[in-house]
Amino acid sequence: MYIKLVWSQDKQIRDVQRTVEECIHNSAITDTTTAETASSAWLASIKAGIDWDNSEIIRTVDPDQVETGVNSRNGSTSGTYHNWYNFMLRFRIFDDTDTKYLIQMETRDTNRNTYWKMGFGESYTANIPRISIGQADQQRNGSNTINGADNNVVFSNSVSTTEHLYSSASAVNIRAVHVYITNTCFIWHTTHQVSTPSGYGTTYGDSNYHVGPYIFSQYSRYDHFNKPSNGIVPVAFNNFREIGQGFRHTDFERNNIWEGSSPTGGNVDYCGWRMMNIPDVYPRVGTSYPLVRWQRCNWGSGVLFNDMCDLNTGGLGNSSTSYPYNTSYGHLVRNESYYRYPSSDLTEIGFAMHPMQVRASAYGYAGGSMTDISGFYLFNGDYQPGDEFTYNSKAYHIIPIWNGYTQRVGVAIPKE
Amino acid sequence: MYIKLNFNSPITAKGMWRLLTDIVNTSSVTSIAQLQARATAASYNSALGVSVLDADNSEIIRTVDPVNTQMHIATPGTEDYSWDCIIQQRVHDDTSTYYYGHMESSKENGGNDDDQAKFNVGTAVTVGGGNISGQSQLAPSVSNVDDFRGSNINLTGQTYTGINWFHHDAGGLGNNIQSIKAYITDECFVWSVYGGAVGSTGYGTTFNSGNSYSGLRGMLQYRRYDHFNNPGNSIIPMCWIQDMDDLARCGFGRDAHWNNPVNTNSALTTRAPFRAMNIVNASPRIGSTYPIEYFPHVAHMIGMRSYEQQDADYESRDGSGVTDVSVGKVIDSRANYRHPSSDLNANGYGLFPLGWSNTTKGNMGGNFTDITNIYIFNGDYQPGDEIGVGEKVYSLWPGYHGYSNRFAIAIPKE
């Protein structure tokens, strides 16, 4: 499901959450026409300012196995908790539908600072609470607590951000949101302060204007031991780093990315990706191969990964005859102008669509492909944010990385 | 098709190629008993070795019959050291396209008795393309020095000439073969030979010697990874194990092949174990010309590790800074280090897909294992050990440097 919503006025994060949640939850909403019709029952303050002409909803691939909910966490109409909201998505694993995991976007303080939270190992089996989009703000659904938490679904394993997704400023001036959600993935991106038909502004690399994209995706299982019976949840997601920064340019570069899956060193905040859990299967003396949770990991495509390669500069070995055993590798992406890839018949030049894969090779874990399961690609070529193109009979929309489009890389999401 | 032939006394390389040619071209040879019947029916000359075959310790399995593979044997001269053996195979996803391997010794060119054998490849042949086995051949009934020579078939089109494979001089492997192993399907042709006394497994105790062991050699097709790697661009998805300049007789599996990266940008092209028949130089560029290059050296890939970046036995796991490489060993030469079983409750061995890449020329490459079912084994073993995985049985062939490094090539017995 593809959702692009543009507003002509600043919106609060809770309004954006409730609108997006309603569009996903209400299966009758398949395009902006049906959404606009349905909006007659929406709370006036929520639907105010929606630019239906420049918005777009496509539900060709229905995320019908995803449970959704937005709830006021406390139900207070004023005071400390009145802006506390939870936007929750509960997914099932593609090959293990009894196993669920939760993605939460929590607004958890008076200033609306908003954080991501992930969980699996569910102890709460009821439907996740949601308030109707017709209900007034600060109303809530359900008891004050779920499993002892403040209206939060509790999982036995969870991890939360230390950095904001939204600050007090960016949580109240959202002008557009782009969402790609299927039964196996969720991609979220917002722009702020300025309304444009494309839903993208002109300022990048600044979380006051541009937040995300955040990618949460299941991936195919490459390793023979990666299977449901070993309790492995094949989900990767953008690491929770500096405020508003999702998939970003430093994920491609030599600096700040190489430490990846090192079990002993590194800085967890710099690594671009994490996995929900993996087995530590590194060859060893002994027979214990424990599961490791929330492991930071590396990403790449094909044979080029950022656990040992900088993905945008390459590392050619010495070309002389004296160095037959140098390392040598090419570029996964080119950031320079005019560098082009060949078409399949070699007669034309074009762009690259790289499958996106994750792995943690320091643990002996080959990981898998997010693209195989969720259909999005890494785009490399000249483009403008929001550009669309057709590739193998499927339309794609390009979301720029957090640093923008001048690096010539973006995330190509299917419009379906 | 799996072939293991042990001999009670040595045969020559010329005899070996004559024997393999007749086995491949004769579909009724599905076992050792059938080989012996064929030897009688075709009046095999003693040079082919069946008369000294150790039948109890030999094996032929033709469950997967290479029905679209043909071989041809001729001799350019009436010496034990001269032969021209051609194998013809066709591309798995482009069945009108053939390629050829040429095992030859060039005594006819006036060389010495210790002329070295070569392994060459090409995209076409001068005679009988598509039907080389239908051309006149050196019959299995005549001796190695018979004057009947068969049709002279040479490589043409795009051709690559090897450097050398093994020697025929005194003590050279070419005169002293006591065990042959081959695995031939319509998508691959690999072999190894052992010279000198062998046990029931077909191996002796000496490795790391070109006069004792040569393996793994041959040609392997691969599954294509890149969108531009397709039949429409005339890319033949095959790599072969090349003769190497510094230790030509070794084949795949010398220590450097396990423990050194491969510089695909180096002008010294003869240290990498694999070359590709042809690839597109698809590295992103300014301009619109992406030339097809023939016979580039490429880096092999074991599991998730391409040898372009590091060898598969390399690790750097203790990164203390954010810019440190953090990767583990894919294969492990250390004693007692084990890979997990699929349920994580026991330890065992590693069985890794084998592939290739050349990202310096924009190629993610391909996967040999997907097409040939050949894997890289990592664990404690003895040469010739067999393992069962899934519904297949694999024979473990050591690399050139032997088995003590715990690496092997796992060959399906089918």
Contact A361 B324 (CB under 8 A): no
- Residue B372 phi, psi dihedral angles, 5° rounding: -110, -15
pLDDT, position B111: 53
Which residues of chain A have a CB within 8 Å of the CB of B330? 361, 364
**Residue count of chain A:** 416
CB A361 within 8 A of CB B310: no
The residue-averaged pLDDT of B41-67 equals 98
Contact B334 A323 (CB under 8 A): no
Is residue B121 very low, low, confident or very high in pLDDT (cuts 50, 70, 90)? very high
Percent of chain B topping pLDDT 90? 77
CA-angle at A129, arms to A126 and A134, nearest 5°: 145
**Does the pLDDT of residue B10 top 60, yes or no?**
yes
Percent of chain B topping pLDDT 70? 94
**CA distance to partner chain A, nearest, from residue B411 (Å):** 19
Is residue B297 very low, low, confident or very high in pLDDT (cuts 50, 70, 90)? very high
pLDDT, position A256: 47
Contact A361 B327 (CB under 8 A): yes
Query: Two tokens at B222?
Result: 């691969």
DSSP conformational letter for A164 = -
DSSP conformational letter for A196 = -
Q: In sequence order, which ranges of A248-400 are alpha helices (DSSP H)? A: 370-374
Q: Give Cα separations from A299 to A253, A359, A376, A395, A403 (angstroms).
A: 12, 6, 14, 25, 18
End-to-end CA distance of chain A: 5
Amino acid residing at B310: Q
Which residues of chain A have a CB within 8 Å of the CB of B261? 325-328
Contact B320 A325 (CB under 8 A): no
CB-based contacts of B226, cutoff 8 Å, min separation 6: B280, B282, B362, B363, B364, B365
pLDDT, position A80: 65
pLDDT, position A384: 94
Q: Considering only the beta carbons, identify the residue of A224, A286, A339 that sits closest to B342.
A: A224
Hey, is the C-beta of B121 within 8 angstroms of any chain A C-beta?
Answer: no
The mean predicted confidence, pLDDT, of chain B is: 92
CB B68 within 8 A of CB B17: no
pLDDT, position A149: 60
Hey, is the C-beta of A278 within 8 angstroms of any chain B C-beta?
Answer: no
Is residue B170 very low, low, confident or very high in pLDDT (cuts 50, 70, 90)? low
CB B88 within 8 A of CB B70: yes
> Looking at chain B from residue 130 to 159, which residues have their Cβ under 8 Å from any Cβ of chain A?
none
Hey, is the C-beta of A392 within 8 angstroms of any chain B C-beta?
Answer: no
Alpha carbons B191 and B205: distance in angstroms, whole number: 19
Hey, is the C-beta of A393 within 8 angstroms of any chain B C-beta?
Answer: no
Least confident of A292-296, B39-43, B94-98, B312-316: A292-296
Collapse the DSSP code of A130 into the 3-class scheme (helix H, G, I; strand E, B; otherwise coil) and give the result. Answer: coil
pLDDT, position B243: 84
pLDDT, one tens digit for every residue, chain A (416 residues): 999 999 999 999 999 999 999 999 999 999 999 999 999 999 999 999 999 999 999 999 999 999 999 888 776 777 666 777 889 999 999 999 999 999 989 887 777 888 888 888 766 677 788 889 998 877 777 665 665 566 666 666 777 766 778 988 999 999 999 999 999 999 999 999 999 999 999 999 999 999 999 999 999 999 999 999 999 999 999 987 788 999 988 777 755 455 666 666 556 667 788 999 999 999 999 889 999 988 888 899 999 998 888 888 888 999 999 999 999 999 999 988 889 999 999 998 889 999 999 999 989 999 999 999 999 999 999 999 999 999 989 999 999 999 999 989 999 999 99
Residue for token pair 């599905």 = B30
**Does the pLDDT of residue B62 top 70, yes or no?**
yes
- Residue B281 phi, psi dihedral angles, 5° rounding: -80, 95
The reported pTM is 0.94
CB B214 within 8 A of CB B166: yes
- State pLDDT tens for residues B219-270: 999 999 999 999 999 999 999 999 887 666 788 999 999 999 999 999 998 8
pLDDT, position B81: 79
Alpha carbons A16 and A177: distance in angstroms, whole number: 8
Collapse the DSSP code of B145 into the 3-class scheme (helix H, G, I; strand E, B; otherwise coil) and give the result. Answer: coil
pLDDT, position A294: 87
pLDDT, position B319: 63
CB B132 within 8 A of CB B187: no
